[in-house]
Amino acid sequence: MLGFASTEMALAFICCILAPLFCVIYGLIMWNKGEEPTGEEFKGRVEWEREERALEEGLP
């Protein structure tokens, strides 16, 4: 099958093609799902960014 000597190898090849296709379909279906953080979570995010910036400043 597909030039392979075993079904297992052909299956691995097919799975490698199908897996990213699955990711594409999932990405398209979920394109607008997952809301932006608001309220308290957004405040938490601002605090997180402040700390992250300080951490990056400490890098060489």
Partner 1 sequence: MVFNIIISIAYIIIVAYLGHRGWKQTQTASDYMLAGRKTHPYVMAVSYGATFISTSAIIGFGGAAALFGFPLLWLAFLNIFVGVFIAFVFFGKRTRRMGVALNAHTFPEVLGGRYNSRFVQGFAGIIIFLFIPVYAAAVLIGLSRFAEVYFNLPYTGGILVFSLILAIYVILGGLKAVMYTDAFQGTVMFVMMVILCVLTYRLLEGIIPAHQALTDIAYMVPQRLVKGGHMGWTAGIKFGTPLWWIVYSTIIYGVGIGVLAQPQLAVRFMTVKSDRELNRALLLGGIFILAMTGIAFTVGSLTNVIFVQKFGKVSVAMALGNIDKIIPTYVDKVMPPWFGTLFLVGILAAAMSTLSSQYHVGGTSLGRDFYGKALGLRGSGEIFATKLGVTLTIIATVLWGLSLPPSIIAIATAFFFGLCASSFLPMYFLGLYWKGVTKVGAICSMVGGFCVSFFWLVFIHYKESKALGICKALFNKVNLVAHYSSTSWLWKLQYVDPNIVALPTSFVLCIVISLFTRKMSDDHLKVCFKYIK
Binding site for partner 1 (CB under 8 A): 2-6, 8-9, 12-13, 15-17, 19-24, 26-28, 30-37, 40-42, 44-53, 55-56, 58-60
Closest CB 1 distance from partner 1, rounded Å: 9
Alpha carbon 14 to chain centroid distance? Answer: 21
Shortest Cβ 29–partner 1 spacing (Å): 9
Q: Alpha-carbon distance 44 to 42, whole Å?
A: 5
Min separation Cβ 11 and partner 1, Å: 9
SS percent in the chain: helix, strand, coil, step 5: 70, 0, 30
